[in-house]
Amino acid sequence: MLKKMLFFMIVLFVINIIPVKAEEDLAPNSKSAILIETSTGKVLYEKNPDEKLPPASMTKVMSMLLIMEAIDEGRLKLTDEVEISPTAASMGGSQVFLQAGEKYPVEELLKGIAIASGNDAVVALAEKVAGSVEKFVEMMNEKAQKLGLLNTHFDNPHGLDSENHYTTAKDMSVMAKELVKHEKILEFTSIYEYYMPKPDGSTTWLVNTNKLVRFYDGVDGLKTGFTSTAKYCLTATAKKGNMRLITVVMGVESSDLRSGDTVKLLNYGFNSFELQTILKADKSLGKVKVINGKKQQIEVYLKEDATHLLNKTSVNPNEKYQYTLKINEVKAPLKKGDVVGKAQIKNSSNEVIKEVDIIVLENVQKANIFDYFKKNLKLITSGL
């Protein structure tokens, strides 16, 4: 085991110091692969990206996405207790050894999915979110349709082989891009080992199935997969500086080759590209008028940083950007996060390189009769 680990570390070190060119096969051991940058969604490399393949436990990227959406929308809390059903406890494959009748907080079950790929944990949370596994799978397929994933279909929330259960590297990258927007999940997927507390006071030792979390600087997720049909798969994400990359490799013959292809993709991305921030999301774009609001004006912001992905070999140091704001009619009531327009970013050639939603960061209630009375009184007194 120690020799294998040392060999794995040496392989990663060697791959880390060798720059690669775009025209090379960056994933020679993978049936299908893709590399994207998350803030722009730009594809930096792809190989058979639309080939339908079994995803194995990478399926849990979609499952975790639905769970995180339920948490963010208030339908589920990390502290909520989940009673383990006989169905969840009977799951085979990778598991965290849950027993029927036991109760666990949502957070512990999420860790069981994110770290150890527990099939029992994901079934327990699927039942909690949707009421049944069948309903949860319906939600998974509905979400796939909303994301425009035309080459994806799910039969279950865990990824055990099924004839009508498939996706593609490209579709997986879209799911992963959505999942990493929920930054809380990265706190779990980045854990290398964890002792999961059990109701009887004992613990279960969980070790991350994604070894790159430990061996590659910047990797903080996302999900491995393996079945005899799917072979070894991995959806990985890493962040260095302000740039986050996502890679997907599918149909690899061993876990070491899977890691090797992933590292090669990540190295290419980080060595060859840089992300330039044009406008930051925390900078006010100014104030806009609010119609029928208790407040007459409100500051607006970008929903996310406006960025531009540049190839390091062709960076123009004199590149200048300009932006225009397109604000809709802003009416109360407003709630934090409401979109009120778009910012359009253009380069020096007048090409649109980015459009970002403009949002408000505070709630504004609708004005009532007393607010109008005070407003009119102020106008009268100010004119005296």
**Which residues are identified as catalytic?**
57, 60, 117
CA 326 – CA 242 distance, rounded (Å): 27
Single-letter amino acid, residue 168: T
Single-letter amino acid, residue 314: S
Distances (CA, A) of 88 to 84, 136, 162, 267, 369: 6, 14, 18, 39, 56
CA nearest neighbour of 30 among 247, 228, 179, 208: 247
Contact between residue 101 and residue 275 where contact means Cβ atoms under 8 Å apart? no
3-state secondary structure the chain: CHHHHHHHHHHHHHHHHCCCCCCCCCCCCCCEEEEEECCCCCEEEEECCCCCECCHHHHHHHHHHHHHHHHHCCCCCCCCEEECCHHHHCCCCCCCCCCCCCEEEHHHHHHHHHCCCCHHHHHHHHHHHHCCHHHHHHHHHHHHHHCCCCCCECCCCCCCCCCCCEECHHHHHHHHHHHCCCCHHHHHHCCCEEEEECCCCCEEEEECCCCHHHHCCCEEEEEEEEECCCEEEEEEEEEECCEEEEEEEEEECCHHHHHHHHHHHHHHHHHHEEEEEEECCCCCCCEEECECECCCEEEEEECCCEEEEEEHHHCCCCCCCEEEEEECCCECCECCCCEEEEEEEECCCCCEEEEEEEEECCCECECCHHHHHHHHHHHHHHCC
**Terminal alpha carbon distance of the chain:** 87
CA 248 – CA 153 distance, rounded (Å): 17
